[in-house]
């Protein structure tokens, strides 16, 4: 299968997913909610960088759908002279869900937001194969939730020198139902609907 399509298919599995996260450091608590939409894929893959080819121009959702139907492939992207700038994403983007699910993922404030072209609030990151995978998120003020702004790998810690938040709780929802729950070192995977229902009740009590 084409690598670009693999990335799009892996992202499509997140379209019904939300992550509710609580993380803290030195008395500071953040509680971002992560959500995913088709149009987010465009910038996460860096397709806007390939501005010397026609194939990456147009409506972002339509471009995502064209990838799923094999109308746009990694071979098409490779025609751009800027393709080497985004090629690492094709190798690592399929691991995005694993990255967010992992107990090893860390989150930091994007200290460079006011000085950088990356207008994002937080950075989720994890080390894989001797590179650091970065997932930047920005707040959608109309929803009060956070969406993916960009995704890439680095071998240095340019964006990561400030102290990370410790993730205290991470709850994964699919269509409003809890499917995974991580809390202070315990990762629970409900096996049947009755347990899902109990977790949902517990979560509602916590939010009251």
Number of residues that make up the chain: 208
Q: Tokens 């517990």 sit at which residue?
A: 202
**106: in domain:** yes
pLDDT tens-place string over residues 57-80? 999 999 999 999 999 999 999 999
Tell me if residue 51 falls in helix, strand or coil: coil
Structural domains in the chain (count): 1
Query: Is the separation of the CB atoms in 80 and 12 below 8 Å?
Result: no
Question: If pLDDT is split at 50, 70 and 90, which confidence band does 159 have?
Answer: confident
| Bigger pLDDT: 25 vs 194 | 25
pLDDT tens-place string over residues 161-180? 778 998 999 999 999 999 99
Among 7-16, 96-105, 124-133, name the most confident range. 7-16
**202: in domain:** no
Q: Which two tokens stand for residue 6?
A: 């693999």
**103: in domain:** yes
Q: Tokens 């699919």 sit at which residue?
A: 174
Separation CA 134–CA 123 (nearest Å): 6
DSSP label of 201: H
- Residue 111's pLDDT is 65
Q: Given 3-state DSSP classes, what are the helix, strand and coil percentages for the chain, each rounded to the nearest 5?
A: 30, 30, 35
pLDDT tens-place string over residues 11-54? 999 999 999 999 998 888 999 999 999 999 999 999 999 999 99
DSSP E strands: which ranges in the chain?
A: 17-25, 28-30, 33-34, 106-109, 122-128, 131-140, 145-154, 166-174, 177-183, 186-188
Domain extent for 140: 3-167
**196: in domain:** no
Q: Angle 60-68/3-12 helices, nearest 10 degrees?
A: 110
Query: Is the separation of the CB atoms in 46 and 152 below 8 Å?
Result: yes
């Amino acid at each position: 299968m084409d690598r670009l399509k693999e990335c799009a298919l892996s992202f499509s599995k997140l379209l019904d997913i939300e992550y509710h996260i609580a993380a803290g450091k030195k008395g500071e608590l953040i509680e971002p909610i992560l959500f995913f939409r088709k149009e987010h894929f465009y910038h996460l893959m860096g397709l806007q960088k390939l501005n010397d080819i026609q194939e990456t121009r147009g409506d972002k959702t339509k471009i995502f759908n064209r990838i799923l139907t094999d109308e746009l492939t990694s071979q098409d992207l490779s025609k751009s002279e800027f393709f080497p700038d985004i090629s690492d994403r094709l190798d690592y983007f399929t691991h995005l869900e694993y990255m967010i699910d992992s107990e090893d993922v860390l989150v930091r404030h994007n200290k460079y937001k006011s000085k950088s072209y990356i207008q994002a609030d937080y950075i989720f990151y994890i080390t894989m194969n001797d590179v650091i995978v970065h997932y930047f998120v920005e707040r959608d003020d109309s929803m009060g939730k956070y969406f993916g702004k960009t995704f890439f790998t680095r071998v240095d810690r340019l964006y990561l020198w400030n102290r990370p938040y410790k993730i205290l709780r991470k709850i994964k929802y699919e269509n409003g139902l809890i499917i995974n729950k991580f809390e202070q070192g315990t990762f629970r995977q409900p096996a049947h609907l009755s347990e899902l229902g109990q977790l949902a009740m517990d979560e509602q009590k916590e939010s009251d």
